[in-house]
Amino acid sequence: MINEQAWSQLTEEFKKKNIALVAVSKTKPVTDIWHLHLLGQRDFGENYVQELVEKQQQLPKDIRWHFIGHLQSNKVKFIAPFVHLIHAVDSRKLLKEINKQAAESNRIIDVLLQLHIAEEETKFGLDEDELFRLLEEYCKDPKEFSHVRICGLMGMATFSENPVQVRKEFKHLKSVFDEMKQEFFQEKPFFQTISMGMSGDYEIAIEEGSTMARVGSLLFGSR
Ligand SMILES: *Cc1c(COP(=O)(O)O)cnc(C)c1O
């Protein structure tokens, strides 16, 4: 069941603030995606490769598919022909594989690097050292990465009832983004995306500078 009212409110608010809304449709049926598509939603997020591929085949081709979950290198080839943005690149190996598969598909694939900002160990992502080392390599040898374009950062806050903790983590992501921009992406207008915020914390994320929120249960109901 789609919460049309929540979708309308978010869409209106996000348009005013120039924030992209990615509707996270994982585990939800294609009929729900059709429904939101009919209302005008075009950006959808999935985090299982097989599910994404099946849905992509059945649904309108003007949908921009975001892969938001942890991506295994050996599965990149299944989504490389069509994926719009890969949010959670967390290793050099994965970035190289995306580059390779993008070349096979004659595409340049947009990606975000995932920074580990949460306290929980369980969440994926690069730490700051790894992030800056990867960027140095990416900038030093652009030919090695000519089929990927790093467009920004993604992060997931601690799953916490404590808004102070969540805000602190989002602030941190924003400051690392600013530092990256300054050091590696000056005069690169495509480097502009901070993907942060979900159903439970998107308001804080927006206050802290999010440019793209990934919202699931608020739109589609709980999973
Ligand atoms: C599931 C998921 C979301 C959406 O979560 P909700 O709490 O349902 O809004 C956002 N980002 C990622 C990476 C997810 O896996």
Q: Is residue 180 within 8 Å of 135, Cβ to Cβ?
A: yes
CA of 216 to the centre of ligand 1 (A): 6
pLDDT at 124: 86
CA of 23 to the centre of ligand 1 (A): 9
The CA-based diameter of the chain, rounded to the nearest angstrom, is 49
214 lines ligand 1 (CB under 6 A): yes
pLDDT at 123: 72
The model's pTM is: 0.97
Atom of ligand 1 nearest to the CA of 88: 13
217 lines ligand 1 (CB under 6 A): yes
Mean predicted confidence (pLDDT) in 207-220: 98
Nearest CA to ligand 1 atom 12: 68
The helix (H) or strand (E) run that includes residue 158 is none
Q: Mention every residue, 6+ apart, whose C-beta is less than 8 A from residue 221.
A: 1, 3
Nearest CA-CA partner of 33 in 54, 9, 10:
54
Task: Name 85's bridge partners.
Answer: 66, 110
pLDDT tens digits along 27-51:
999 999 999 999 999 999 999 999 9
10 lines ligand 1 (CB under 6 A): no
Pocket test for ligand 1, best of 43, 198, 199, 215 (most atoms within 8 A of CB): 198
pLDDT at 1: 86
pLDDT tens digits along 57-75:
999 999 999 999 999 999 9
100-114, 118-132, 191-205: lowest mean pLDDT where? 118-132
